[in-house]
Structure 1
Amino acid sequence: MTGAPFTALRGQLHEAAAEFADGPDALEGVLLGLVDDVDRAVTEPLEIFPVCHHSPASALAMARRLREKQPKVVYLELCEDMAPLLTELRNCRLPVAVQAFASDIDGFPPDWAPLSVVAPITEASAEYQAIAYALDTPGVELVLVDRSSDHVFQWDARHDRADEPDAREEGGTGTALHGEAVGVEIGDLRPRFAELEEHLLRHGKVRHWSEWWHQYVEVPLGDSDHDTYRQVMFLIGSLFRRLAPGDGDRVRVDEDRERYMWTRMREHLAATGADPADCLYVCGAFHAASRVDEFGVHGDDGFEISPRTATTWQYGLIPSSNAAIEAQFGLASGSVSIAATQWTKNLKRTRVKPYRLDGQAGTKRTGTKAAATAALPAAAPPPEDRLSGFLQRPPVLDTLDETELLGWSVDIVRAARRNGYQASTADAIAVFETSILLAGMRDRAKPTPYDFQDAAVTCIEKDGVPGRRDVRRLVEIMMGGDRIGQVGYEALPPLARDVHDRLAPLELNLQQRGVRRALLDMTSRPELRACSDVLWMLRRLMPGGAARPVMGERRLGERSIQESWDLALGTHQRALIELGYEGVSLEQVLEQRLRRTAYGPQATTAEVLAAVEDATLYLGGRRLAEELGARALDVLAGERTVDGAPEVLRRVRGLLAYYRTSEPVLPPWIESFVRTGYAHYCTLLPTAFRDEDATVGQVAAMLGFLFSMEGLALSLGCDRTQLELAVAQAHPEDPAKTALLWAAQVQLGTLSRGELRARCDELLANPLVVPSYPRYLSGFVHALEPVPGLADVVVEAVSNAFGRLPDAVLLPWLPVLITTLRSNAAELAPLLIREAGRIFPARLAALDTWVPPWHGQSAAPRALPATTAPRGAALLPALPATCDALAELLGCTEEWTATHASAGTGAALLATHPATAEALAAVLTAR
């Protein structure tokens, strides 16, 4: 296009290209292309309004233009499926973000879930001015024309760049409000050519892009007329676009977005018959200077919009913040706060009346509807070349505002003193003078907020930071701080409103940010039990800190009568809102999540049992618990490893204890689980003993399941022979597992306690085995899980080691013993300590005469007088086989004395255990 208004500018650029590039061909294409882009955009019948995201200059120009033109249709660069949410902005306190969210996806890779798209909106943005004008002005239609949220991910090229970092990864504290959501950059305007940005920053004597934009675009365009503003923004957008690197994916997405938007606008014009002269197209300057064939109301119609996938999208408003916007869109820290301050100053200086939604939280009515009754202005005159004058005009030197700078200096010193800095009036003077000095060094007549920030850091923050905030952060707070938005009650999804309604008896303002303490006395106020149920579900569903119990607990079979909670639902409002995308009540969301966990492809038996426990704790009833219990049975049958055996044992024991005390009979699913688990772990036991990947704790948990559930399993039809065969087939090589196997044999009766003690003595007598003795002890300690009756034997094994080993062996060996027990059997150590406390003397003086009980067992039998012999004395010799078996079980090895009828090994029972002999005689006599 060769429009007349820019003929002179083209000639000047042609001469400049020939002079600076040794010929017109090298640079002429770029320079004249910029003018062509501006000419094309300016002469388009449908007025294009280029903007920069969160730019006060763009917002000011937008407010002016809307009052002058008063368009009937406003086309806005925003995801078209987010349109129904915009009316809810009046119920919020800005900044907030419009969000599209999908957890159950269909048509995208499963690892992309959940999908989230956010578009943050602040008051100091041109987009908000357009939205407020369109929604509060009768007869004005607001049309969103950008690609839908579904197309955002359809056009995502992450699968083609799997080796690169995810574009959604973010850092910093402010990103929590947006998380990993894909940001829709309304009005994106930043050079994508790294060398160009570096050149601009270096020659502009600034540190980052936000400062360059503030100094060289925001301030000059703040008082410009409409035509100058448009042409300059077209030029900047064209420059950054033409010098952008040839990234195929990024360029393709940008051009497809432009084709999409122009196609949607032409469809709307054709459907409604609207006059393009009465319309306004608000988009980023980067997209305004477009070169696609579909550009304009008379562009090509060959672009086909692909259908959306079957993914179900949920929509809502979430709170945003200045820091979240800065982190998500790569802006400098504090730049959005400075922009908000600049917006306020611009309004006060120019007396422009901005648009605000009627009823917007924190604002007053602006009389927007009355302004809409004014007559439309006359047709706009042909565009003139305002670009040449702007480019040739020397920079306007803004005069120093000493009052403003002095106020800043005093405020920062006051804030620094409150945060622990030893600042004084002298520091305020130094900050004032240094700000002016820095501005002069950077060719500025007036210090910018960034100059003032550098000066404050230089003059106040000398050696270190005494408090939580450094001076740079204090300046950001002083300039407006990290303003955090809030979504009003009316704009919340049904689930969030239901939560607030159900917690209303607490009489707390839960929408306010910060921590609120809730005290629940269910004895005096039984209605608070329902609040307690909601709070426990919130603790289960929301991130930590949203609902934290201070006093009280909820476990199987236990309910607290008093509870104390720290609640921060206002701080975690986004998490609560996103719960509303999953269902209409907390119970529904929790049930869905439990089912998703239990039926997931990677679900383990322990996870499914945890879901059963949560269903019982939070939802009550037996329907879901029994369904998930049946699922746990299926998962257990399909497992081929024992990784989750400790957790399975703990969960099953807890559930069994709960059902035995609260139910008349055990549920069928847990009986089937015990029966199947008994056979399952018997099958895996020999392999687990030999497997190097199976830890001794996991094998001990398997034995704990088999021995603790043995009575119930046998009553349900299981065969104990299967367990005996599994133990007989086990041949471990690891010392800890070997000790565990010995303990299992003792429990089954195939190994006596005397033989176990003898084996421990052999280990201590073998110098080659002594270094690995701590590992045997680790196995014995783990054996207390399935065989708690061996606690005395373990205490004896440890005591013998300390008593028999010399210091030269014991001292290097002791740290290994301590670290082994701490890392592998810390939870079983209390049982060992209690047993040691029972065996050892309680006082130090008694230690000298103390005889260990295991030594006393081998002492000579004490002879009883014939007259005082128990009546079982005659019965034991009469039944020598029974007596010998009982003696072997108790560890007695003495021979029969000559006074008894037959030889055997049970003679010591007469003197050592007279009460036992008496009881045994009574039983046999009764039979």
Structure 2
Amino acid sequence: MTSPFDPLRDQLLGAAESLADGPAALPEILAGIVDDVDHALREPLEIFPVCHHSPASALAMLRRLREKQPKVIYLELCEDLQPLLTELRNCRLPVALQAFASELDGFPKESAPLSVIAPITESSAEYQAISYALDTPGVELVLVDRSTDHVFQWQPDVSSPADTPEPEDDLHGDAVGVEIGDLRPRFAELEEHLLHHGRVRHWSEWWDQYVEQPLAGADHETYRQVMVLIGSLFRRLAPHDTKRYASDEDRERYMWTRIREHLGRSGADPADCLYICGAFHAASRVAEAGSAPGTPDFAITPRTGTTWLYGLIPSSHSAIESQFGLAPGSVSIAATTWQKQLLKLRLTPFRLEGQKGARKTKKALPLPAASNGPVVDHLTGYLAGPPVLDGLDEEELRGWCVDIVRLARRNGYLASTADAIAVFETSVLLAGMRGRVRPTPYDFQDAAVTCIEKDTVPGRRDVRRLCEILLGGDRIGQVGYEALPPLARDVYDRLAPLELDLEQRSIQRALLDLSARPELAGCSQLLWMLRYLLPDQAVRPIMGSRKLGERHIQESWDLDLGRNQRAVIELGYEGVTVEQVLEQRLRRDAWDPKATAATALKAVENSLLFLESPRLTDELGARAIELLAAERTVDDAPDVLRRIRRLLGHYRATAPVLPGWCGRFVTEGYAHYCTLLPTAFVEEETGVRQVGAMLGFLFSMESLALSLGCDRTQLEIAVRQSHPESPAKIALLWAALHQLGVLPLTDLRVRVGELLGNPLVVPSFPQYVSGFVQALEPVPRLAPFVVETLSQAFARLPDPVLLPWLPNLITTLKQQAAELVPVLTREAGRTFPGSLAALDSWTAPWNAPPRARPSAGPGDAAGLSGPSGPAGAAAALLAANPAAADAVATMLGCEGGWTPLTTETGGDAAVVGLLTAYPATAEAVAELIGA
């Protein structure tokens, strides 16, 4: 059968033969692309090839829809996204259709969440087709591309989809982008060749110069044949042995199978239908391609059990550029080109009825319906001559130059009228050097950077970014209230008492006076939950905080929900209310495989702050106990100690009794840390901070643990079995022995004096001091001794040892023991004189001579006598202050009057025996009172 493209095929084959040094496959490629065009045009179902976000494709689609008026439109888009299309009329473009799944069934659990997005802009052929189909009675729109589930089924590695470009913009997150009509070459050689000979920098500029502009005013058949030709060229040059190519062919089989199913089910005439797909797929030659009834079908696998959630999220020009690897500013330039061509060609685009942000346009009259005539060769004439491009538009270029200078001055540049003239002339010069009659936006951008930016950027935006703003800006879409998921609508409704326009794309200040307006307490609670769930810039407190035991009567917030609408929308994929999502997040954190006891305690604290759910709190507390018992390291001991102390303090202040999980956590932690203590003292991997936190837990929780049934002997044995080697941990062990009453303070002073007197130990003495500082966590009553030790170190250590140690001490205190610094500061304030004048006559307490005992008082005349030493001092104190002793006795329920303490009375014998049996207690009391 003869073809209208036979002369073109012969001409190309002749050109291939003349290139004897060309690739061996060149004749096959050149003949093949002509055959692909002929094959695509002979298909009874009209194939309309497009490039996404292409003004030329959108213009050709607009004209073809008005001419053909198809009854059925098959669109290359995930078939399960179809219910979302009607919600586009409630949005301001650009937005993205999204499918989201966080709970997976049939995919690796670690790959969650999975997300697919398909951005829609007004200057895209797909949007024109959607608008025409939804607002024209009797027209059916059918999405035929693989479902979202199949997108990930066909990914070789769901957790890291290598075949799909990773978006970098925060509006699209880590979603997989669905490339509709992508025409970017998949190999560097062809792209490099085209960019070099086209005298352009990137693919977007080449496409605009050699495809967009020539095809903007082309007739339908010329546009269609050229686009299929380009798609066939890229298809034949792409490597056929890759998974990407096999996946593309499977997509084509899938789409044609769905098309034939619909044709058979609906009985539609292929002549009244239109199939819109990417130019790459329009040149498909798979066996399953075609609308004929006898064409074999593709076996479509069933979907997995994963439940997909669907919605719309805001998109932006920069997000689309990042997702599909386009040059910055290219989508904005395309949008500007689209508006310009509409005015030039006097076309009225299709827009969804009620579309937000759309300009009001007059209703366009439909053109007479066009019939499919015989195929005519338009390629030969198009390829034979140069493209017809517009000449220099001085008025447009002059307007650009004036506006960029005005915009540059607003952003801190010292630009003037001379710079505007220079940009104009340089743009014309660059266009001429690159073989162009009319400067493109990219030529103008290069000229503006050259003439205005000079050496430095005075503000946040450079000139290239200013050009992008001037030529269209980074337009950001918005999803309307009616199209939001229930959770997002609930958020807007609950924040309505703030009387702010939360859809506004700017930061708004919310002032909450909870004492004057108690009804705003619900807004405050919601804002704190959103603060936990959303990015920092979405909801930011300026005044007020949320901690255990705190309640503020006034708060102020900076709200930027308009620009962070996507984050609010995606919360709706996780639950119906914010409280439900927060509970799920807390459970997920606590039951994460990498969760620790500190993580679970943090979840417990957040549940108390935000949800006030005793059931959830008890579950999270039980999980914390489980994680603590399973831990084999003590890396998180400081965090565990800080959080459990805060929780215990909260419950003691607000609840009549401690929850059961708190008691179990204390007893489990007491036994757990006693078991790990000897090993932690020896291991080099365990830091001094961690050991100090363990001892802090054991000593500070000791009274509660003993009341709940723990045995103090376990702690004593653990301390005695500890044999550290590093100086800092040795100091910690001495502090623990002192706390247990084994090492008196006088003996501890003796050991420190021996360290300072030993020349071999002096270089490592700062490490002992660091250990004593960390010992303030488990033994806070050692603060006077630590101040004394630090003073001794500053006084007696030589400069070569002291000076290098000081920065390390300051860094350690700042990073690991910031809460201990106030303890040392207060103790130093009590120890050292308060004025400079008093310093000359001041004597350090540890250097002062021991004070003499007070002479016998009236108590001795009454027969007061007793043992010497601390026991005697305590007895004298009791005899001198009988009222205090009587008050304590009354509180304890002891009856009887005051009996003078003598060695002959039974009471005296009991007290003296008690003081003798526990000398450490008597010594501590004596030291505190200065006896």
Question: What's the TM-score, normalizing by structure 1?
Answer: 0.93
Once the 2 structures are TM-superposed, how far is the Cα of residue 823 of structure 1 from its aligned partner? 4.1
| Distance of 1:916 and 1:755 partners within structure 2 | 31
Once the 2 structures are TM-superposed, how far is the Cα of residue 485 of structure 1 from its aligned partner? 0.5
Q: Does structure 1 residue 257 correspond to structure 2 residue 251?
A: yes
Once the 2 structures are TM-superposed, how far is the Cα of residue 669 of structure 1 from its aligned partner? 1.3
Give the secondary structure class of the aligned counterpart of 1:762.
Answer: helix
Amino acid paired to 2:342: L
Give the secondary structure class of the aligned counterpart of 1:144.
Answer: strand
| Distance of 1:302 and 1:603 partners within structure 2 | 49
Could you say which residue in structure 2 is the equivalent of 1:153?
A: 152
Once the 2 structures are TM-superposed, how far is the Cα of residue 603 of structure 1 from its aligned partner? 1.5
Could you say which residue in structure 2 is the equivalent of 1:34?
A: 33
Within-5 A mapping of 1:726-875: 726-807=718-799, 809-856=801-848, 859=850, 861-862=852-853, 864=855, 868=857, 870-871=859-860, 875=864
Aligned with residue 212 of structure 1, among 206, 215, 229: 206
Once the 2 structures are TM-superposed, how far is the Cα of residue 23 of structure 1 from its aligned partner? 9.4
| Distance of 1:195 and 1:816 partners within structure 2 | 56
**C-alpha distance 873-123 of structure 1, shift in aligned 2 (>3 A):** farther
Once the 2 structures are TM-superposed, how far is the Cα of residue 245 of structure 1 from its aligned partner? 2.8
Once the 2 structures are TM-superposed, how far is the Cα of residue 180 of structure 1 from its aligned partner? 1.6
| Distance of 2:583 and 2:42 partners within structure 1 | 58
Once the 2 structures are TM-superposed, how far is the Cα of residue 815 of structure 1 from its aligned partner? 3.8
Aligned with residue 487 of structure 1, among 479, 485, 489: 479
Instruction: Single out whichever of 507-516 and 226-235 deviates more from structure 2.
Output: 507-516
Matched length: 891
Once the 2 structures are TM-superposed, how far is the Cα of residue 794 of structure 1 from its aligned partner? 0.5
Q: Does structure 1 residue 179 correspond to structure 2 residue 168?
A: no
| Distance of 1:778 and 1:715 partners within structure 2 | 33
Could you say which residue in structure 2 is the equivalent of 1:12?
A: 11
2:253 touches 2:297 (CA, 8 Å); kept in 1? Answer: no
Can you list the C-alpha shifts for 1:556-579, whole angstroms capped at 9, x where unaligned?
A: 122111110001111111100000
Q: Does structure 1 residue 332 correspond to structure 2 residue 327?
A: yes
**C-alpha distance 716-5 of structure 1, shift in aligned 2 (>3 A):** same
Could you say which residue in structure 2 is the equivalent of 1:318?
A: 313
Instruction: Single out whichever of 772-781 and 291-300 deviates more from structure 2.
Output: 291-300
Amino acid paired to 1:596: R
Give the secondary structure class of the aligned counterpart of 1:297.
Answer: coil
Once the 2 structures are TM-superposed, how far is the Cα of residue 393 of structure 1 from its aligned partner? 2.2
Aligned with residue 296 of structure 2, among 293, 301, 316: 301
Once the 2 structures are TM-superposed, how far is the Cα of residue 428 of structure 1 from its aligned partner? 0.9
**C-alpha distance 25-861 of structure 1, shift in aligned 2 (>3 A):** closer
Within-5 A mapping of 1:884-899: 884=869, 886=870
Once the 2 structures are TM-superposed, how far is the Cα of residue 555 of structure 1 from its aligned partner? 1.2
| Distance of 1:26 and 1:848 partners within structure 2 | 99
Once the 2 structures are TM-superposed, how far is the Cα of residue 912 of structure 1 from its aligned partner? 11
Could you say which residue in structure 1 is the equivalent of 2:339?
A: 344
1:863 touches 1:911 (CA, 8 Å); kept in 2? Answer: no
Amino acid paired to 1:312: T
Q: Does structure 1 residue 80 correspond to structure 2 residue 71?
A: no
**C-alpha distance 773-816 of structure 1, shift in aligned 2 (>3 A):** farther
Could you say which residue in structure 1 is the equivalent of 2:914?
A: none
1:21 touches 1:27 (CA, 8 Å); kept in 2? Answer: no
Once the 2 structures are TM-superposed, how far is the Cα of residue 621 of structure 1 from its aligned partner? 3.2
Could you say which residue in structure 1 is the equivalent of 2:662?
A: 670
Could you say which residue in structure 1 is the equivalent of 2:574?
A: 582
Within-5 A mapping of 1:130-209: 130-158=129-157, 168-171=165-168, 175-209=169-203
Give the secondary structure class of the aligned counterpart of 1:548.
Answer: strand
Give the secondary structure class of the aligned counterpart of 1:852.
Answer: coil
1:909 touches 1:917 (CA, 8 Å); kept in 2? Answer: no
Can you list the C-alpha shifts for 1:829-872, whole angstroms capped at 9, x where unaligned?
A: 2111110110111112222222222233x5263562x5x46439
Can you list the C-alpha shifts for 1:486-511, whole angstroms capped at 9, x where unaligned?
A: 01111100000000000000000111
Unmatched 5+ stretches in structure 2: 886-898, 902-906, 912-931
Could you say which residue in structure 1 is the equivalent of 2:929?
A: none
**C-alpha distance 116-630 of structure 1, shift in aligned 2 (>3 A):** same
Aligned with residue 494 of structure 2, among 484, 502, 511: 502
2:862 touches 2:900 (CA, 8 Å); kept in 1? Answer: no
Instruction: Single out whichever of 814-823 and 69-78 deviates more from structure 2.
Output: 814-823
Once the 2 structures are TM-superposed, how far is the Cα of residue 248 of structure 1 from its aligned partner? 1.3
Give the secondary structure class of the aligned counterpart of 1:458.
Answer: helix
2:514 touches 2:521 (CA, 8 Å); kept in 1? Answer: yes
| Distance of 1:61 and 1:166 partners within structure 2 | 30
**C-alpha distance 918-570 of structure 1, shift in aligned 2 (>3 A):** closer
1:873 touches 1:910 (CA, 8 Å); kept in 2? Answer: no
Amino acid paired to 1:322: H
1:50 touches 1:230 (CA, 8 Å); kept in 2? Answer: yes
Once the 2 structures are TM-superposed, how far is the Cα of residue 170 of structure 1 from its aligned partner? 4.3
Amino acid paired to 1:18: E
2:165 touches 2:325 (CA, 8 Å); kept in 1? Answer: no
Could you say which residue in structure 2 is the equivalent of 1:712?
A: 704
**C-alpha distance 817-470 of structure 1, shift in aligned 2 (>3 A):** closer
Q: Does structure 1 residue 594 correspond to structure 2 residue 586?
A: yes
| Distance of 1:812 and 1:586 partners within structure 2 | 53
Can you list the C-alpha shifts for 1:409-436, whole angstroms capped at 9, x where unaligned?
A: 1111111111111111111111111111
Aligned with residue 261 of structure 2, among 264, 267, 279: 267
Amino acid paired to 2:347: V
**C-alpha distance 644-24 of structure 1, shift in aligned 2 (>3 A):** closer
**C-alpha distance 922-354 of structure 1, shift in aligned 2 (>3 A):** farther
**C-alpha distance 916-763 of structure 1, shift in aligned 2 (>3 A):** farther
| Distance of 2:815 and 2:127 partners within structure 1 | 59
Q: Percent identity?
A: 69
Question: What's the TM-score, normalizing by structure 2?
Answer: 0.92
Amino acid paired to 1:619: L
Could you say which residue in structure 2 is the equivalent of 1:891?
A: none
Amino acid paired to 1:242: R
Instruction: Single out whichever of 809-818 and 667-676 deviates more from structure 2.
Output: 809-818
Give the secondary structure class of the aligned counterpart of 1:53.
Answer: coil
Can you list the C-alpha shifts for 1:419-458, whole angstroms capped at 9, x where unaligned?
A: 1111111111111111111111111111111111111111
| Distance of 2:132 and 2:422 partners within structure 1 | 45
Could you say which residue in structure 2 is the equivalent of 1:117?
A: 116
1:102 touches 1:314 (CA, 8 Å); kept in 2? Answer: yes
**C-alpha distance 922-212 of structure 1, shift in aligned 2 (>3 A):** farther
Within-5 A mapping of 1:43-58: 43-58=42-57
Could you say which residue in structure 1 is the equivalent of 2:357?
A: 362
Give the secondary structure class of the aligned counterpart of 1:687.
Answer: helix
Within-5 A mapping of 1:303-702: 303-364=298-359, 376-377=369-370, 379-702=371-694
**C-alpha distance 917-506 of structure 1, shift in aligned 2 (>3 A):** closer
Once the 2 structures are TM-superposed, how far is the Cα of residue 909 of structure 1 from its aligned partner? 7.8
Provide the aligned C-alpha RMSD in A. Answer: 2.3
**C-alpha distance 813-273 of structure 1, shift in aligned 2 (>3 A):** closer
1:185 touches 1:329 (CA, 8 Å); kept in 2? Answer: yes
1:876 touches 1:917 (CA, 8 Å); kept in 2? Answer: no
Once the 2 structures are TM-superposed, how far is the Cα of residue 312 of structure 1 from its aligned partner? 1.3
| Distance of 1:168 and 1:731 partners within structure 2 | 57
Could you say which residue in structure 1 is the equivalent of 2:915?
A: none
| Distance of 2:900 and 2:875 partners within structure 1 | 15
| Distance of 1:790 and 1:914 partners within structure 2 | 29
2:287 touches 2:295 (CA, 8 Å); kept in 1? Answer: yes
Q: Does structure 1 residue 280 correspond to structure 2 residue 282?
A: no
| Distance of 2:355 and 2:576 partners within structure 1 | 27
| Distance of 1:119 and 1:601 partners within structure 2 | 33
Can you list the C-alpha shifts for 1:775-815, whole angstroms capped at 9, x where unaligned?
A: 11111111111110000011111111222234454344444
Amino acid paired to 2:36: D
Once the 2 structures are TM-superposed, how far is the Cα of residue 167 of structure 1 from its aligned partner? 5.1
**C-alpha distance 872-289 of structure 1, shift in aligned 2 (>3 A):** farther
Give the secondary structure class of the aligned counterpart of 1:564.
Answer: strand
